[in-house]
Amino acid sequence: MGSYFTAFLIGGLICVIGQLLFDLTPFTPGHILSGFTVAGGILGGIGVYDSLIQFAGAGALLPISSFGNALAKGAMSEAARSGILGVLTGMFELTSTGITATILFGFFMAVVFKPRG
């Protein structure tokens, strides 16, 4: 799944798209990163994002668009398995690790470190 070269190249290029949007559009980072997630979800829906992960490995797995892709894939695969309610039950099937890790590590850091300034 990906090589060091393709991970570097594709990961770098996705970040360049982000930098262009940061610098050339009036949108805030919040808008742009939400846009990345939406784009990842749509690309996941049409099956493109998985091929990108196969090609680029972590280069496609780490950008936040991968989060949208994983949400869409979880909803789609569970819907295919158990009908339309699967859209709800499968939504966080694949992203559970990322969300849980973010909440846990964020919480523990807040317990350990004091606020600055």
**15, 25, 48, 51: which one contacts another protein (CB under 8 A)?**
15
- What is the smallest separation between the CB atom of 50 and another protein, expressed in angstroms? 10
Taking CB under 8 A as the criterion, the residue among 45, 48, 51, 55 binding another protein is 45
Helices 29-45 and 48-56, packing angle to 10 deg = 100
Q: Is 42 exposed, middle or buried (0-12, 13-18, 19+ CB in 10 A)?
A: middle
Q: How far is the CB of 71 from another protein (least distance, A)?
A: 4
User: Does residue 52 belong to the site contacting another protein (CB under 8 A)?
Assistant: no
